[in-house]
Amino acid sequence: MSQIRHGLGLCSSPSLPVEMVVLRAGLCPGLTEDMIQLLRDNGIRTVVDFVSSDLEDVAQKCSLSYKALVAVRRVLLAQFSAFPANGADLYEELKSSTAILPTGSPSLDQLLDSGLYTGEVMELMGAPGTGKTQLEALQRVQVQRVFNIYEVLRALQELRDRLSQQVLSSVGPLKVVVLDSVSAVIYPLLGGRQSEGLALMMQLSRELKTLAREFSLAVVVTNQVTRDSSSGSLKPALGRSWSFVPSTRVLLESKEGPWERSSTQRAASLAKSPRQPTGIQVELDIGNGDMLEPSLVTPTEGL
């Protein structure tokens, strides 16, 4: 239990998660030790307590200056709340930072409306052996082996720190992050204490999406498939909560040719997309043409 809590705490936003911020002197200008003591005596301990209180009421009960309290509240909000952006500004920023990365497979690019879009999480799902690992080996130069959710979360956090500090790598800027496979790291957590496993899964999804957005990366994850009990169609593993996470989802299936025992033919269909109608399908040959340089491909369990 403590390991999971620690895991959650470790992987929130880079600064201390706001839930944990207790009011203390020096947290912001105007917040003195005396003020803190008076507030604490009246049940106000954290930033949230302070911001949610009726300051006219607090001023009266704690014999503090209303104006001073209001000033502190303004600074705390500026420090801990998210800042709204204007749509026009955001659009300008996205126009310059978004890139569409060709996958190296022309048919797959067609399915994805030109390629992998940065800022998004794309999911490749399929049964074992359908070629997910071969397909997503794009410009992967760094391979990091990780064996469980905590290592994944830690690796993502380190990646975020490196990117924030703009550590330049000798091979050029990082554009794609691949997690192969998300089901392998999450499955061991599900079942048993349900909500904690799901909480970790959602924490992971937040990390992946934040990475994609904040650093304009294309994030690709691979996942297993299960069969839907009512409709009989294939759906991504890891359940309903996970299904909302990726923006794009591609299903890989083997095309069984009766004349070949092990075919390299695959069918890729679009199961979810923010841009294209779902259901479109292309054929891929993971034997040649649609597979990338084998020297770069190393099947791994992690990033």
Give the nearest distance from C-beta 90 to another protein in angstroms: 6
HSE-CB of 109 using CA atoms within 13 angstroms: 13
What is the rounded radius of gyration, in angstroms, for the C-alpha atoms of the chain? 24
Interaction with another protein in 86-105: which residues (CB under 8 A)?
Answer: 86-88, 90-91, 94, 98
Q: Which of 28, 153, 185, 198 binds another protein (CB under 8 A)?
A: 198
Q: Which of 85, 147, 296, 298 binds another protein (CB under 8 A)?
A: 85
265 binds another protein (CB under 8 A): no
Helix (H) or strand (E) holding 178: strand 176-179
Burial tier of 234 (Cβ tally within 10 Å: 0-12, 13-18, 19+):
middle
Q: Which of 24, 74, 145, 255 binds another protein (CB under 8 A)?
A: 74
Q: Which of 27, 30, 80, 163 binds another protein (CB under 8 A)?
A: 80
Q: Which of 159, 174, 272, 286 binds another protein (CB under 8 A)?
A: 272
Helices (H), 224-292: 239-243
∠284-287-293 over CA atoms, to 5°? Answer: 100
Q: Which of 2, 195, 288, 295 binds another protein (CB under 8 A)?
A: 195
Q: Residue 222 and residue 186: Cα distance in Å, rounded?
A: 12
Closest to 286 measured CA to CA, from 78, 71, 130, 79:
130
Closest to 131 measured CA to CA, from 112, 106, 108:
108
Helix (H, G, I), strand (E, B) or coil at 100: strand
2 binds another protein (CB under 8 A): no
12 binds another protein (CB under 8 A): yes
Q: Which is nearer to another protein, 130 or 247 (CB)?
A: 247
Interface positions with another protein (CB under 8 A): 4, 8, 12-13, 17-19, 47-48, 51-52, 56, 66-67, 70, 74, 77-78, 80-88, 90-91, 94, 98, 117, 195-196, 198-203, 205-206, 209-210, 212-213, 231, 240-241, 243-245, 247, 272, 274-275, 277-279
